[in-house]
A and B are shown apart, each in its own frame.
Chain A
Amino acid sequence: MKKNEIFINGAFSDNPIWKQVLGICSALAVTNLMINSLVMGLGVIFTLALSSFTISLIRDYTPRRVRMMVQTLIIASYVIIVDIFLKAIYPDMSRALGPYVGLIITNCIIMGRAEAFAQKNNPFNSLIDGVAAGIGYTIVLLLIAMIRELMGFGSLFGFTILGDWWISWSIMVMAPSAFFVLGLLIWFINYRYYTKPSEEK
């Protein structure tokens, strides 16, 4: 498989959220503000890329029976590194994300890519696949956050976009809105890009 093919597959055609429907919990939780989504996305890209790379690097030596334990250990290590890094360098951001950073460990996309890709491919391709899946995830998060922040606060990245005439929708700030925004998004993308119109047959 060519490198750009791996990238396109990971980020778009096999997008972790709208195609594989993985990592939904965090997509619901952190998407009420653009900035939270962006940082969460960057954290996931970093963890995903490096854990895929590392898992692929030691895949020939990893006994099959303990491979999941090894994967979890590696993923957890990188997540803790992200967490400590944020605490040390960006304490405000770390407070805003709160427990979500720790929850990257349970993000199914990371384990999913490790099992589906890194376990069978060379380290460099795994790295590309990890970055691609991470970017695919981040794009969806930002899309949802854009809708939610704009309607819930009238702002984007904290800058007021809609004026005083806009009455913020409180529901957009709370979890339920993430469910229907995400649902509509997945429906739209599947309808637009994955369903073959029967008329063309």
Chain B
Amino acid sequence: MAEERKAFSETRIYPIVFMILVALVFGSILALFYHSTAERISEHQQFRLQQAILSVFNLPLDEVPETYDRYIEERTATGVSYYQAREDTISLGYCFPVEGSGLWGTISGLLAVNNEFDRILAFYILDQNETPGLGGRITEPEFLDQFSDKEFRQNSEIVRFRMVPENEPTDRFEINQITGATSSSRAVVSIIHDKLQNIRSILELDYEEE
């Protein structure tokens, strides 16, 4: 028996059998582990998204799933899914997922606009890979709050926000950029501008259908 086994471990097939066995064992351990946590992970992601959507509409955040179910309606138009907030039958506005490239990687977030489509309600960043401490400051309220309740239309034109240096007073269509992070600040403004153009076509189409 011992001789036979030794012989087998020296055959050419042994490394292959061994490798397959090891892969099977570790593969199944990982599959089990993944399976047992998958639900939890997707719950976290779901919760975070719902929380973010409520926050752009300035809705209370203490009971996220309940409030979300009560106020938010998920809709789709031309393949784009977006969210509408309603209090009873009165619409509070629309929220769209946004994505675009920043300096280092993709910046993704949520952009909420009012019913008349002339003001941004709020902009929220879900994910970004900008330089921590510099471009990373785009997630700080000092920068993001500038977009809250911000006008963006002049007649029928969507205006691109102009950048002014940090700590300088801003005009109607101006945004304070972050010192040392000009590219990241510009990226955010471009992403918002592009999305607004896109939202206009989506909302127009959707309302023609109704």
Enumerate chain A interface residues (CB-CB to B < 8 A): 32-33, 58, 61-63, 65-66, 69-70, 73-74, 77, 80-81, 84-85, 87-88, 91, 95, 98, 152-153, 168, 170, 173-174
Contacts and interface: CB of A to CB of B under 8 A. Distances in A.
A88 B40 CA distance: 6
B21 to A, nearest CB: 9
B173 interface: no
Interface in B28-59: 29-30, 33-34, 37, 40-41, 44-45, 48
A58 B37 CA distance: 28
Given A63-B18, A81-B30, A88-B41, A170 B133 contact: yes
16 contacts: A33-B132, A66-B19, A69-B19, A74-B22, A81-B33, A84-B33, A87-B37, A88-B37, A88-B40, A95-B127, A98-B129, A168-B133, A170-B133, A170-B134, A173-B133, A173-B134
B33 A87 contact: no
Given A73-B22, A87-B37, 6 more contacts: A62-B18, A63-B15, A65-B15, A73-B26, A84-B33, A173-B134
Contacts, number: 62
B133 A152 contact: yes
A78 to B, nearest CB: 9
Interface of B: 9, 14-15, 18-19, 22-23, 26, 29-30, 33-34, 37, 40-41, 44-45, 48, 127, 129, 131-134, 180
Contact of B132 (A63, A66, A173): A173
A63 B37 contact: no
Mostly helix, strand, loop or mixed at chain A's interface? helix
A32 B9 CA distance: 49
Contacts of B48: 91
Contacts of B14: 63
B109 to A, nearest CB: 14
A173 B37 contact: no
Contacts of B22: 58, 70, 73-74
Nearest to B10: A63
A32 B133 contact: yes
Contacts of A77: 26, 29-30
9 nearest A-B residue pairs (beta carbon): A173-B133, A63-B15, A88-B37, A77-B26, A91-B44, A66-B15, A88-B40, A87-B41, A88-B41
